[in-house]
Amino acid sequence: MKTKAAVLYKYGQPLVVEEVELDEPKAGEVLVKIGAAGICRSDRHFMHGHAHIRLPAVLGHEGAGTVEKVGPGVTLCKPGDQVVLSFVPACGRCQSCLEGRSNICDTHMATGPNMMDGTCRLHKGSQYINHMGKVACFAEYAVVPDTGCVPIKTPIPMDKAAMIGCCVPTGVGAALFSAKVRAGSTVAVVGCGGVGLNVIMGAKLANAGKIIAVDILEGQLEFAMKFGATHMVNAADRDPVEQVKEITGGQGADYTFEVFGSAETVKTAYEMCRKSGTVTVVGIAPIGAEAGINAVDLVRNEKTLRGCYYGSAHSRVDMPMLVELYLSGKLPLDDLVVRHYSLDQVNEAYDDMDRGEVGRGAIVFQ
Ligand SMILES: NC(=O)c1ccc[n+]([C@@H]2O[C@H](COP(=O)([O-])OP(=O)(O)OC[C@H]3O[C@@H](n4cnc5c(N)ncnc54)[C@H](O)[C@@H]3O)[C@@H](O)[C@H]2O)c1
Ligand SMILES: [Zn+2]
Ligand SMILES: [Zn+2]
Residue 246 lies in a domain: yes
CA of 345 to the centre of ligand 1 (A): 21
Whose atoms come closest to the Cα of 261: which ligand? 1
CATH number of 128's domain? 3.90.180.10
Task: Please tell me the residue having the least CA distance from ligand 1 atom 18.
Answer: 193
Query: Is the pTM higher than 0.95?
Result: yes
CATH number of 279's domain? 3.40.50.720
Q: Same domain, yes or no, for 37 and 86?
A: yes
Give CA angle at 144 (172, 114), nearest 5°: 100
Residue 4: helix, strand or coil by DSSP? strand
Burial of 307 (0-12, 13-18, 19+ CB in 10 A): middle
Q: Same domain, yes or no, for 52 and 23?
A: yes
* H or E element at residue 353: helix 346-354
Q: Same domain, yes or no, for 25 and 117?
A: yes
Residue 315 lies in a domain: no
Q: Same domain, yes or no, for 149 and 190?
A: no
Q: Which domain holds residue 45?
A: 2-165+332-364
Please work out whether the CB of residue 310 comes within 6 Å of at least one atom of ligand 1: yes
Whose atoms come closest to the Cα of 38: which ligand? 2
* Ordered per-residue pLDDT tens for the chain, 366 residues: 999 999 999 999 999 999 999 999 999 999 999 999 999 999 999 999 999 999 999 999 999 999 999 999 999 999 999 999 999 999 999 999 999 999 999 999 999 999 999 999 999 999 999 999 999 999 999 999 999 999 999 999 999 999 999 999 999 999 999 999 999 999 999 999 999 999 999 999 999 999 999 999 999 999 999 999 999 999 999 999 999 999 999 999 999 999 999 999 999 999 999 999 999 999 999 999 999 999 999 999 999 999 999 999 999 999 999 999 999 999 999 999 999 999 999 999 999 999 999 899 999 998
- Indicate which atom in ligand 1 lies nearest the CA of residue 42: 43
DSSP summary character for residue 133: G
Please work out whether the CB of residue 34 comes within 6 Å of at least one atom of ligand 1: no
Q: Same domain, yes or no, for 203 and 348?
A: no
d(CA 46, CA 168): 21
- Cis ω for the linkage preceding 56 (within 30 of 0): yes
Instruction: Please indicate whether residue 97 is annotated as part of the active site.
Output: no
Residue 317 lies in a domain: no
d(CA 11, CA 221): 31
Q: End-to-end CA distance of the chain, in Å?
A: 18
Domain count, the chain: 2
d(CA 57, CA 218): 35
CA of 245 to the centre of ligand 1 (A): 22
Q: Same domain, yes or no, for 6 and 127?
A: yes
263 CB-side CA count, 13 A = 9
Please work out whether the CB of residue 188 comes within 6 Å of at least one atom of ligand 1: no
Nearest residue to 114 via CA among 82, 83, 91, 136? 136
Residue 326 lies in a domain: no
Please work out whether the CB of residue 261 comes within 6 Å of at least one atom of ligand 1: yes
Instruction: Please indicate whether residue 45 is annotated as part of the active site.
Output: yes
Please work out whether the CB of residue 41 comes within 6 Å of at least one atom of ligand 1: yes
Give CA angle at 68 (166, 134), nearest 5°: 35
Q: Same domain, yes or no, for 160 and 176?
A: no
Cα torsion through 146, 50, 318, 101, rounded to 10: 80
Residue 237 lies in a domain: yes
**pLDDT at position 288:** 95
d(CA 148, CA 64): 11
Neighbours of 282 (CB within 10 A): 29
Confirm if 338 and 362 have CB atoms less than 8 A apart.
Answer: no
Residues 6+ apart with CB under 8 A from 353: 39, 41, 44, 193, 361
Confirm if 39 and 337 have CB atoms less than 8 A apart.
Answer: no
CA of 258 to the centre of ligand 1 (A): 8
Residue 62: helix, strand or coil by DSSP? coil
**pLDDT at position 366:** 83
d(CA 143, CA 128): 14
Q: Same domain, yes or no, for 144 and 188?
A: no
Q: Same domain, yes or no, for 303 and 353?
A: no
d(CA 54, CA 180): 35
Task: Please tell me the residue having the least CA distance from ligand 1 atom 25.
Answer: 191
d(CA 202, CA 163): 14
Residue 199 lies in a domain: yes
Confirm if 131 and 122 have CB atoms less than 8 A apart.
Answer: yes
Instruction: Please indicate whether residue 166 is annotated as part of the active site.
Output: yes
Would you mind telling me the total number of residues written for the chain in this entry? 366
Q: Same domain, yes or no, for 357 and 249?
A: no
Please work out whether the CB of residue 193 comes within 6 Å of at least one atom of ligand 1: yes
Q: Same domain, yes or no, for 136 and 197?
A: no
Q: Which of 42, 86, 102, 312 is catalytic?
A: 42
Q: Same domain, yes or no, for 78 and 175?
A: no
Pairing type for strands 16-22 and 149-151 reads unpaired
Pairing type for strands 57-58 and 127-131 reads parallel
208 CB-side CA count, 13 A = 31
d(CA 310, CA 103): 6
Please work out whether the CB of residue 356 comes within 6 Å of at least one atom of ligand 1: yes
CA of 169 to the centre of ligand 2 (A): 10
Task: Please tell me the residue having the least CA distance from ligand 1 atom 21.
Answer: 193
Residue 253 lies in a domain: yes
- Indicate which atom in ligand 1 lies nearest the CA of residue 285: 41
